């Protein structure tokens, strides 16, 4: 059986910085209120002309450069996102020509905040079975165009940012650098605890979206914050422990923890419950907010630049998001 390894990563975030103080001019909130509840101090938002695939393109180009490969070596493209450029076709199809690629499979992964690890699992499986050799996996989001930026949408709007992160995953010919395991879960009975109802075919209407839906604000995401928080801590701890058990590892064997960046308090609670040393957890949410499918690969790129992630580092990741979906992975850099 083949093994797979991550050979390069890249990221891109928009230039526009939106601080908590900026948000306080749009809605009834304060810098301290946002930091206390989420740890977020600022985030990046795109301008009117920029799309999700524009961000993805920049991240992918950096990942390809850092991997030291020719983009023609890529034989599969996986794109994790919940904020597509258009309703259909999938974003991977729009990204493919921007990258100058043709004919290779272009697949969207719609698993929200867990999308990147779901995509990593798919890439690992494709490579292990010998179907593909070099896979480009990107997570990218433009949330700012879909938020209710008034006091009514405050609880969700303050959390999300725009950004993209990408990795190149390749068949490992030799050595110990590889994806050890991935673990995927979902519990759809909680789907409406964090969701956007419209547009959709399940609204009891002969239109996917109409004026009544818009007036009711159904196009904006809504969230049961307390339920999401409690489930995120529990499920991420569970799947992380499973990953350790599967690989016969202990927490102290892990060099670096790259968790999904939904809320700094969630990651702090996980570290507290599992007794993970603070210096082993790498967080980026303070600067970028929640970029859903992009948070983990953005974290990888930032950790590389900070000297925290280097060849031989044993990494554990876990994510939780809408669906509910959750996932974990252990991999050696």
Distance (Å, whole) CA 142 – CA 75: 26
How would DSSP label each residue in 152-202? Answer: GGHHHHTTB--EEEEEEEEEE-SSS-SEEEEEEEE-GGGGGGEE---S-S-
Quick check: is 260 catalytic?
Answer: yes
Which of 163, 148, 158, 156 lies closest to 284 in space, CA to CA? Answer: 163
Q: Is the dihedral of CA 297, 148, 327, 2 positive or negative?
A: negative
Structure tokens at 159: 């959390």
Element spanning 40, H or E = none
Q: From the candidates 9, 113, 237, 239, which is the catalytic residue? A: 113
Contact indicator for 327, 239 with CB cutoff of 8 Å: yes
In order of 74, 126, 234, the CA distances from 225 in angstroms are 40, 36, 14
How would DSSP label each residue in 88-156? Answer: SS-HHHHHHHHTT--SS-EEEE--GGGHHHHHHHHHHHHHHTTS-SEEEEEEEE--GGGS--SGGGHHH
* CA 123 to chain CA centroid, nearest Å: 15
Distance (Å, whole) CA 258 – CA 165: 13
Q: From the candidates 91, 213, 260, 283, which is the catalytic residue? A: 260
Q: Kindly compute the dihedral angle of the four CA atoms of residues 242, 243, 247, 248, in this order, to the nearest 10 degrees.
A: -40
Instruction: Give me the active site residues, please.
Output: 113, 260, 290
């Amino acid at each position: 059986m083949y093994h797979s390894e991550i050979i390069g990563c890249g990221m891109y975030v928009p230039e526009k910085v939106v601080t908590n103080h900026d948000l306080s001019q749009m809605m009834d909130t304060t810098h301290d209120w946002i930091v206390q509840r989420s740890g977020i101090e600022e985030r990046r938002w795109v301008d009117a002309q920029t799309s999700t695939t524009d961000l993805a393109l920049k991240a992918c180009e950096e990942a390809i450069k850092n991997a030291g490969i020719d983009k023609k070596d890529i034989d599969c493209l996986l794109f994790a996102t919940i904020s597509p450029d258009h309703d259909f076709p999938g974003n991977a199809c729009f990204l493919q020509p921007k990258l100058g690629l043709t004919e290779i499979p272009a697949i969207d992964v719609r698993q929200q905040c867990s999308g990147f690890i779901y995509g990593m699992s798919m890439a690992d499986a494709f490579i292990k079975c010998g179907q593909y050799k070099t896979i480009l996996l990107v997570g990218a989001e433009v949330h700012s165009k879909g938020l209710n930026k008034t006091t009514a949408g405050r609880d969700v709007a303050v959390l999300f940012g725009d950004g993209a992160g990408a990795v190149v995953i390749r068949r490992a010919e030799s050595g110990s650098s590889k994806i050890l395991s991935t673990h995927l879960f979902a519990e759809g009975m909680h789907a409406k605890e964090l969701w956007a109802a419209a547009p959709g075919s399940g609204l009891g209407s002969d239109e996917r979206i109409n004026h009544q839906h818009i007036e009711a604000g159904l196009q904006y995401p809504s969230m049961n914050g307390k339920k999401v928080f409690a489930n995120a801590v529990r499920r991420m701890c569970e799947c992380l422990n499973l990953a350790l058990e599967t690989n016969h590892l202990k927490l102290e064997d892990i060099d670096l923890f790259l968790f999904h960046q939904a809320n700094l308090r969630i990651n702090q609670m996980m570290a507290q419950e599992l007794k993970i040393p603070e210096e082993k957890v790498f967080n980026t949410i303070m600067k970028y907010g929640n970029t859903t499918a992009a948070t983990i690969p953005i974290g990888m790129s930032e950790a590389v630049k900070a000297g925290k992630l280097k060849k031989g580092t044993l990494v554990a990741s876990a994510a939780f998001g809408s669906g509910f979906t959750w996932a974990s992975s252990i991999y050696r850099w």
